[in-house]
Each structure stands twice: as structure tokens, then as C-alpha cells.
Amino acid sequence: MIEHRISLRNVGKINPARIEDYMAAGGYEALKKALQTPPENVIYEIIQSGLRGRGGAGFSTGLKKKFTSEAACVLLECMHYIVCNADEGEPGTFKDRIIMEGDPHLFIEGMVIAAYTVGAGKGYIYIRGEYHKSIEMIHKALASARAHGFLGNNILGSGYSLDIGVKLGGSSYLCGEELTLLESMEGKRGHPRIKPPFPAERGLFGMPTLINNVETLSQIPAIIINGADWYKRLGTEKSAGTKIFTISGDVKSPGYFEVEMGVTLRELIYNFAGGIKDGKRFKTALLGGAAGTFVPEAMLDVRMDFEDLQEKDAVLGSGAVIVMAEDQSILNMLHSIMRFFEHESCGKCVPCRVGTKHLLMLLNKISNNGQNKRPHIDALLHQSEIMAKTSLCPLGQSPVLAIKSAVRHFRKELQETQLT
């Protein structure tokens, strides 16, 4: 398989700071086409394309638009919002940054089209504060889009108006979670809200809100130009299109690669990332970042799409692939992941606030106890399962993924090694 670039098609080819370059490459043609089409037909096309959210959850992008467009306001003054999730906090994930720095107009164009489909009157890009270059590029791109009539009042004479603002996040992993993100945007502490209601019904300031990831939005212009049937032919039956994978760790050429969904893990590691460095053997890859799963060598031929991975109790998540060579320690990696969760836990609910500390304690016991580690490994599993059932939000429900997969595939190693 070779790279197939949709979200990254202009990256490295055009000057991202010049809207003229983007337009010369066909930019904003999709917006022109969409604005001449009734919003419900645009939504239908996106549903038919099979595009699913690239932020991690994989929900149908078209259906989310349909629900948001149909949502009635509960407050007297009604305004639909659109929010682009550019928080990108998942360890090992750096795909959105490449789009924002390398071709910011692409996802902005997708965002304006998405906003039009739900009738949003105002949009925001919520971006992590450390992404200085991306922030600068986005501000420039928004200003030139306004100057060319692609944003603002009566866009391209269509009668539709939208402006987009930028909100900076404070580098909290949890603030990438959509409901916590909304709290943060409203100026409150980054604590999650209870679902339902979902953002489509009651989102920003209580209004129906469409939230999409940068990569998701960047796929929309190509769908509008080429049609749903073209898009559906890419990828696999239920995971259509292309996906950006970010490969890091013990590979010769770490980086980002956009390929059709369904590429195998082996192809990603050996064809795209050059194989394992220093002549070592592959041991495992952590798929989906900290909220992800370990896969062993026996699963190198798994197809990287939502269904195939789910069938094997693994996750695609944000597309992060963190590769570990034969001499890396699973116990060290688990410890580092649990330290991350302990640090990022917002402390609102007991199972996660206390549970993340307990998981770290158990990992230390597993490392220290030279005799029988089995009870501690079982307790680690049990504790993470309890957290998955009782925690208030997905953060506390996530440690079970890494722990379960590590114990399933590497129990013997966990019993024999110590933290270094």
C-alpha cells in the first residue's frame, strides 16, 4: 500500500500562509459547491460517504450533523455553535498539528461547510496553548478567509453568515474530551459534564453544538468535491476513507503517514516507518496512545480500522502507534501511562482520583515483590475494571485498556521484571 493523501494533500506543497496558494490548489471550491446545495443534501452526502470521527470515538460524522441540525433549543434565544477540537492531548498523537501548520485552510474550509449544514452562527477552534505555530497559522488563515469572503457576513453571497474565533486550552488532557472542553470554553474548571445531554442537544452555553476533530473536518472538502461514492471506495467497508497514523518509538523513521483505513500494522511499521531500529525485533505497539491497547507480534497483520481492531479487543483511537522493541519493558511503559492518568485525573470522582494512585501503588508492588506477583497483577486488573465501571468520565474508564492488554499478552514478563 502507498500513501493516499486527503488531509495532507497540500502539506509540503503549498505555502500554508498564502490563501492564494490554497485556492490555486482547488481550495474553497468545495465551500462554493456546498453553499449552492441545501444543507440537508450536504449532510446526506456526508452520511453516505461513511466518514467517521477521527478524534478517537469514530462516530458517524454525517449523523452527528443531522442530530445537531435537528436539535431544538431549550432556551428562548437560540444559536447553534460549531467547535473544532484541536486540543490534541493524546500521547503519541501529532496529526492535527501537521494539518494546522501545513494546510490550515483545509480544515477551516471543512469547518465552514460543517457549520453551514447545522446552521451554526458562531464557531470556535479550541486549541492547546503550547501549539504556538498552529495558533499563529490559524489566526493568519482566518484573517485571509475573512478578507476573501469565505467567512463573515453573507459568505460568497449565499446569505449564510459565520465567524470563527480561537480559544486556547490550558494543556489539560481531559479538556480534549468534548464535554469538558465545553466547560473550559465557558470559563469553568475542566471537569466533565454528565452525558446525556450530548453536545448536539445541549452544548456550548446550553445551545446545540457540533464538535469535530481537525482531521475529521479536513476530510470534508474532498467528499463534497468528489462525492460520497468516491470516498466510500477508499478504506474498508465500515471504516471508509484515509487516516493519518503517527508512528513513534523504536522505529527507524518515525513520523506521520496518511493511508487508507485497513492498512496492516506490519505495513505501517516496516514499509512506512522503516522497521525497528538498531536491528532489533518488534515486541509490541501501543495503539491509540495512553487510552489505548498493546498488541503483540502475533497481531502485526491486523487491519488498522475501527472494526478489525475492535474484534481483537484493540482500539484505533487517534491513530497513534507507539512502537516498542524487544528490549523495552512493559512494566516501565505501564507505569509511565498510569503516572500520566494520575496526573491528568481531575479529581472530581473517587474511583478515578483514588484509583489512579492505587494502580501506581500496585505497579510498584509488582516491581518490588520478588516472590509471588500474581495477586498484585490480578489486583491491578480488578482495580482497573472497577474503575471502568464506576468512574464518571472516559478518563477513569481508560486505564483498563492498557492494563488488560498488557496482562493478556505479557503476563509472564510482568511476573518476571522490575521497574527500571
The footprint of ligand FMN (CB under 6 A) covers 53-57, 59, 85, 87-90, 173-174, 176-178, 211-213, 216, 394-395
Q: In the complex with ligand FMN, which residue's Cβ is closer, 88 or 183?
A: 88
Please give the backbone phi and psi of residue 220, each rounded to the nearest 5 degrees, phi first: -65, -45
Cis peptide before 375 (omega within 30 of 0): no
Contact pattern for ligand SF4 over residues 366 through 385, marking x by CB under 6 A: --------------------
Beta strands, E only, 182-269 = 209-213, 242-249, 255-260
Binding to ligand SF4 by residue 396, rule CB under 6 A?
yes
Q: Residue 89 binds which entry of ligand SF4, ligand FMN, none, with Cβ cut-offs from 5 to 8 Å by kind? A: ligand FMN
The alpha helices in 103-227, defined as continuous H runs, are 104-118, 132-147, 178-185, 214-226
d(CA 347, CA 356): 10
CB 220 within 8 A of CB 114: yes
Which of ligand SF4, ligand FMN, none does 103 bind, CB closer than 5 to 8 A by kind? none
CB of 125 to ligand FMN, least distance (A): 11
Alpha carbons within 13 A on the beta-carbon side of 407:
19
Which does residue 50 bind out of ligand SF4, ligand FMN, none, counting CB within 5 to 8 angstroms by kind?
Answer: none
CB of 314 to ligand SF4, least distance (A): 22
Helix (H) or strand (E) holding 85: strand 80-86
Assess contact for 77 and 213: CB atoms under 8 A.
no
Residue 377 to residue 382: CA distance in whole angstroms: 9
Which residue of 347, 382, 408, 416 would you call a contact of ligand SF4, by CB under 6 A? 347
391 binds, among ligand FMN, ligand SF4, none (CB under 5 to 8 A by kind): ligand SF4
Stretch touching ligand SF4 by CB under 6 A, among 56-64, 144-152, 341-349, 366-374:
341-349
Site for ligand SF4 contains 174 (CB under 6 A): yes
- From the list ligand FMN, ligand SF4, none, pick the one residue 349 interacts with, judged by a Cβ distance below 5 to 8 Å according to partner type: ligand SF4
* Backbone angles phi and psi of 272, in degrees to 5: -90, -45
- Could you give the CA distance from residue 285 to residue 292 in angstroms, rounded to a whole number? 10
Answer with the entry of ligand SF4, ligand FMN, none that 346 interacts with (C-beta below 5 to 8 A by kind).
Answer: ligand SF4
203, interface contact from ligand FMN, ligand SF4, none, CB < 5-8 Å by kind: none
For residue 88, which amino acid is it?
E
Nearest CA-CA partner of 96 in 249, 258, 230 = 258
The residue within the footprint of ligand SF4, chosen from 52, 283, 348, 358 (CB under 6 A), is 348
Distance, in Å, from the CA atom of 358 to the CA atom of 351, rounded to the nearest integer, reads: 10
Residue 346 in the binding site for ligand SF4 (CB under 6 A): yes
Shortest distance in whole angstroms from residue 216 CB to ligand FMN: 3
- H or E stretch covering 286: strand 282-287
Contact of residue 192 among ligand FMN, ligand SF4, none (CB under 5-8 Å per partner type)? ligand SF4
Indicate the residue type of 219.
Answer: Q
Residue 194 to residue 204: CA distance in whole angstroms: 14
Q: Among ligand FMN, ligand SF4, none, what does residue 176 contact (CB within 5–8 Å per kind)?
A: ligand FMN
Question: Using the rule CB under 6 A, is 192 a contact of ligand SF4?
Answer: yes
Under 8 Å between Cβ of 142 and 151 = yes
Q: Which is nearer to ligand SF4, 295 or 395 (CB)?
A: 395
Q: For ligand SF4, which stretch binds (CB under 6 A), given 25-33, 77-85, 94-102, 393-401?
A: 393-401
- State how beta strands 242-249 and 255-260 pair: antiparallel
Rounded to a whole number of angstroms, the minimum distance from the CB of residue 251 to ligand SF4 is 31
Point out which residues bind ligand SF4 (CB under 6 A).
Answer: 174, 192, 345-349, 352-353, 391-393, 395-396
